[in-house]
Structure 1
């Protein structure tokens, strides 16, 4: 009996040790799995009721918080808006469209999750996609939805912001999502959408990109195309265009400090006042920065009645050309790839766009096409008018026109049917 009892006791002891070891392994695996997860939480969106009131095709609008690697290689938390349609879920789950937003600013208060829905996005792209039955994931981007500066126009960061948002959505919503996804964006978001296509090129679940007026060749725009084009515009339009370009430059400078904290971005501006206004990019959104530059350019024109708008000392050309940090940003981080992509690309460009000139996008398209990428360029060539200043030809109007015609949604449906 004693031997039997001892043997039984030993059996229980060994079993207990084995189970304990298994539990330790499970705990370790759970910790590892948790560490690898991107999803953090789903929280309420302050403006959900207002958004749902305008978007009759949406059943919910939530804020999804998730983790991603930042430009310094550290794991950070950011956020995205997630829109579910009212259309019943397909048997195999909803398809996802990532909306990459255009320039808003780099301050946290400018983030989509902190503001009401942009009217153009809400009334056109979001409305049309939700009506077809797509889920929309709209990232704030790194630094806008969380700690740190937003690396404005930094393609690897924009792409990771989207990829990890999709990863988090798949983790949390599970079988509600089928797995396939595409990207759509305008301006900064157009550039981001092309960047997403580059970085998701080997992702079988990624099906293609729409890019409206994608930012590219920033140095060529600032130093060559813009100065010549600005002086062909009516003075008020010239001032507005130059003020907008200078605001983009200020946001770029502040964005670079996200990974080069000591970068003296003010040095690329040409006057004391232009340098001072550039610092607004740290705390204000695009509209406020543009307005400050407009007022200073207007003062310059009044004080120098024979001067051209392009002669306003906004950019120090030599400093811009010779700054190694700026040049690295232009060549390594901000230019969409022209290497062959194996995903279909649809570029929409207004012929009379003064922010991203048509000739710049045409050159990008030509390079992508020559590399073998399946890319289409949709040109919107109707001149904007006072009665219809947005749709048909202006910077933001091109993607709206493609929405109105149904061509944007048709491209999405063709490459990723909603059902």
Structure 2
């Protein structure tokens, strides 16, 4: 099936709550446990922080794993609804952001309210009684570097963010947060969302995934990268090369045995090195007008790179204890629909309860599709634990 898909993919590229009084910033002594809260700060009244429906927004620094398994400080935020929760406390929603970049200035969790543009997507979740827990992933705004599409690490960062949120909510309100959660994200965040659901039972058994939502999931990257060679024509996606450099920057960090530099021209090595510290818009500008084929000296299919990438960027096809909703735009030229359908087939064969929905859209979701995902989450029958 993969051999039939590759020419198609290449062609596609070419052509209100009772909140307590404000609590001051808190510095905690780390106890060395995953999800431990190191510091909190109420940022509700700061510019660009608050989504419609949030009564409090709390900046959080907590402990989670980096790609080596070392516990490091990770940044995130917790948005607490204005309205009081139902019985069992607030539901939890882990919101996993899409590609923002790899540098320390690329975090998004503390700027969710920017210009109100996320109010239509995320505001209704707060109105429905969900606490939003948003991580920036290890290496963004903290020690070390962010390993882009290292799903195992990002999934652990999400689960530890949920642990931290359950500490923060009663500290800044008169309520508790449930141990049940839904994980929601698109693109990089969709990849992360699936990993969080896959890892939950083993890594955070005290948390209970009610459902996992992922859209525009990057999957089958190794199959696509295996087609890249010198002379590969320019892609029609303007930011295609940005994703390419981010993936190779992450692979270089986690899998040095892939010998990424040995495949790259001097310009390719320079752009991958710069990708390690640049946010998305800056890297898009730096790579505009450059073809991926001009950055490689030999086919990526030769040697160790593709096997390493296949393992590094994989998406788990089994090991989910809750239903999974996967949403896909059929004209997506970043996360290809045929590869997503292959993933769905494998997951269903492995016994995963997958609800797969397709739309005549491209990368990302329109607001009505986000509302559809929220309605799906609200209707889950796996919420009773608290």
Residue aligned with 1:68, SS: strand
Q: Is the 8 A contact 1:246 1:314 kept in 2?
A: no
- CA distance in 2 between counterparts of 1:412 and 1:252 reads 31
Q: Which residue of 1 aligns with 2:373?
A: 408
Q: Which residue of 1 aligns with 2:245?
A: 250
Displacement of 1:182 after TM fit? 1.2
- CA distance in 2 between counterparts of 1:32 and 1:41 reads 9
Q: Which residue of 2 aligns with 1:277?
A: 271
Displacement of 1:39 after TM fit? 1.2
Displacement of 1:349 after TM fit? 0.4
Q: Is the 8 A contact 2:258 2:304 kept in 1?
A: no
Q: Is the 8 A contact 2:146 2:250 kept in 1?
A: yes
Q: Is the 8 A contact 1:253 1:266 kept in 2?
A: no
For residues 84-103 of structure 1, the C-alpha deviation after alignment (integer angstroms, 9 at most, x for no partner) is 11111334211100011111
Q: Is the 8 A contact 2:260 2:305 kept in 1?
A: no
- CA distance in 1 between counterparts of 2:121 and 2:241 reads 28
1:35 matched to 2:38? The reply is: no
CA distance 1:223–1:198, change in 2 (3 Å): same
1:86 to 73, 76, 82: 82
Q: Which residue of 2 aligns with 1:67?
A: 63
Residue aligned with 1:112, SS: coil
Displacement of 1:117 after TM fit? 4.5
Displacement of 1:49 after TM fit? 3.6
Q: Is the 8 A contact 2:328 2:357 kept in 1?
A: yes
Q: Is the 8 A contact 1:221 1:357 kept in 2?
A: no
Displacement of 1:328 after TM fit? 2.1
- CA distance in 1 between counterparts of 2:137 and 2:302 reads 29
Q: Is the 8 A contact 1:201 1:343 kept in 2?
A: no
For residues 18-44 of structure 1, the C-alpha deviation after alignment (integer angstroms, 9 at most, x for no partner) is xxxxxxxxxxxxx99933361111124
Q: Which residue of 2 aligns with 1:24?
A: none
Trace 1:114-125 onto structure 2 (pairs within 5 A).
115=111, 117=113, 122-125=118-121
1:380 matched to 2:380? The reply is: no
Displacement of 1:258 after TM fit? 3.8
Q: Which runs of 5+ in 2 are unaligned?
A: 1-27
CA distance 1:195–1:85, change in 2 (3 Å): same
Trace 1:344-359 onto structure 2 (pairs within 5 A).
344-359=323-338
- CA distance in 1 between counterparts of 2:261 and 2:120 reads 37
Q: Which residue of 1 aligns with 2:211?
A: 208
1:324 matched to 2:304? The reply is: yes
CA distance 1:295–1:114, change in 2 (3 Å): farther
Displacement of 1:260 after TM fit? 5.2
Q: Which residue of 2 aligns with 1:161?
A: 157
Displacement of 1:171 after TM fit? 2.9
Q: Which residue of 2 aligns with 1:194?
A: 194
1:369 matched to 2:336? The reply is: no
1:136 to 132, 136, 143: 132
Q: How many residues align?
A: 348
- CA distance in 1 between counterparts of 2:211 and 2:241 reads 32
Between structure 1 and structure 2, the one with the greater Rg is 1
TM-score by length of 1: 0.74
1:394 matched to 2:359? The reply is: no
- CA distance in 2 between counterparts of 1:276 and 1:80 reads 30
Structure with higher helix content: 1
Q: Is the 8 A contact 1:47 1:115 kept in 2?
A: no
RMSD (CA atoms)? 3.2
CA distance 1:82–1:268, change in 2 (3 Å): farther
Q: Is the 8 A contact 2:62 2:75 kept in 1?
A: yes
Where relative contact order (Cα < 8 A, 6+ residues apart) is larger, the structure is 2
- CA distance in 1 between counterparts of 2:346 and 2:313 reads 16
Displacement of 1:119 after TM fit? 6.7
CA distance 1:274–1:35, change in 2 (3 Å): closer
Displacement of 1:46 after TM fit? 8.8
Displacement of 1:313 after TM fit? 2.1
Q: Is the 8 A contact 2:44 2:57 kept in 1?
A: no
- CA distance in 2 between counterparts of 1:252 and 1:192 reads 14
